[in-house]
């Protein structure tokens, strides 16, 4: 039978329990060392978190250095009260000490939900959306510059960026950032300029003297400012 967790050390690290309201959830961070004397205070804090008008209470035990069964019981009691109130209650991070007691008492499945494939897909989708929101301004500015420089439609400007990104093996947002810097007079690298203007000729070929497409491969984008927003 596994040995029970060791008791708190003399001069133990003071326990710390903090709460933070974040949208429709309350984040509870528990750190330091918890023992029997701290369980009543922990229960009060968790009950207060459950009284908030939120859907979910999340606990971060990543910095917990010691806890005993009294502290664990406080969490299990709060979980039951959360279920009764139709709220979610879950531990999202555990320290090695917290993990050991959860494993010894077989309570991990109750407090630490196992993320399923759908949860992982949702997290990935959220990450991608956040990244898109951060890079979208440069992409929109680059499209405006191409539209003003070459008389392209919004869809054509998008196609030009995508083609040049693929042909130069450059991330789309990085290519867009390079195009935006041309407004300040920074020239594009020659390979990027060549593929960018070749893409322009492909999506919107101008007519040459004999009806043939004019050679635009050597023409860099003009440093025109993007059209003002409507």
CATH of the domain at 81: 3.30.750.24
Would you state the pLDDT for residue 178? 86
3-state secondary structure of 37: helix
Last residue of a domain, one of 80, 114, 148: 114
Would you state the pLDDT for residue 223? 42
> Does a structural domain hold residue 216?
no
> Does a structural domain hold residue 65?
yes
CA 17, CA 35: separation in Å to the nearest integer? 13
> Does a structural domain hold residue 128?
yes
Last residue of a domain, one of 67, 91, 114: 114
199 and 159 both lie in a single domain:
yes
76 and 145 both lie in a single domain:
no
Would you state the pLDDT for residue 10? 55
Host domain of residue 104: 16-114
3-state secondary structure of 28: strand
82 and 133 both lie in a single domain:
no
98 and 127 both lie in a single domain:
no
130 and 192 both lie in a single domain:
yes
CA-based nearest residue to 25, from 46, 67, 53: 53
110 and 22 both lie in a single domain:
yes
> Does a structural domain hold residue 208?
no
> Does a structural domain hold residue 4?
no
Would you state the pLDDT for residue 81? 94
> Does a structural domain hold residue 223?
no
107 and 133 both lie in a single domain:
no
148 and 187 both lie in a single domain:
yes
User: Could you tell me if 191 and 143 are in contact, meaning their C-beta atoms sit under 8 angstroms apart?
Assistant: no
Residues of the chain with pLDDT under 70: 1-13, 115-135, 205-230
pLDDT tens by residue, 132-160: 556 678 888 888 888 888 888 888 888 88
Would you state the pLDDT for residue 215? 41
> Does a structural domain hold residue 39?
yes
Number of domains in the chain: 2
- Residue recorded with tokens 């879950």: 90
> Does a structural domain hold residue 6?
no
């Amino acid at each position: 039978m596994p040995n029970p967790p060791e008791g708190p050390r003399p001069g133990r690290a003071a326990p710390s329990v903090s709460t933070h309201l974040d949208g429709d959830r309350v984040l509870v961070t528990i750190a330091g060392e918890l023992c029997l004397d701290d369980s009543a205070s922990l229960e009060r804090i968790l009950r207060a978190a459950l009284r908030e008008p939120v859907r979910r209470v999340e606990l971060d035990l990543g910095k917990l250095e010691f806890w005993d069964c009294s502290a664990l019981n406080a969490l299990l009691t709060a979980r039951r009260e959360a279920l009764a109130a139709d709220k979610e209650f879950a531990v999202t991070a555990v320290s090695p000490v917290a993990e050991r007691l959860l494993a010894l008492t077989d309570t991990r499945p109750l407090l630490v939900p196992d993320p399923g494939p759908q949860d992982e897909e949702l997290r990935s989708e959220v990450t991608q959306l956040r990244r898109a929101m951060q890079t979208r301004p440069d992409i929109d500015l680059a499209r405006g510059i191409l539209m003003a420089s070459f008389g392209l439609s919004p869809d054509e400007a998008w196609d030009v960026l995508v083609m040049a990104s693929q042909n130069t093996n450059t991330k789309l947002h990085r290519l867009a950032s390079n195009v935006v810097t041309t407004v300040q007079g920074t020239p594009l690298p020659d390979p990027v300029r060549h593929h960018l203007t070749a893409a322009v000729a492909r999506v919107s070929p101008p007519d040459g003297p004999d009806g043939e497409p004019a050679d635009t491969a050597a023409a860099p984008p003009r440093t025109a400012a993007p059209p003002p927003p409507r």
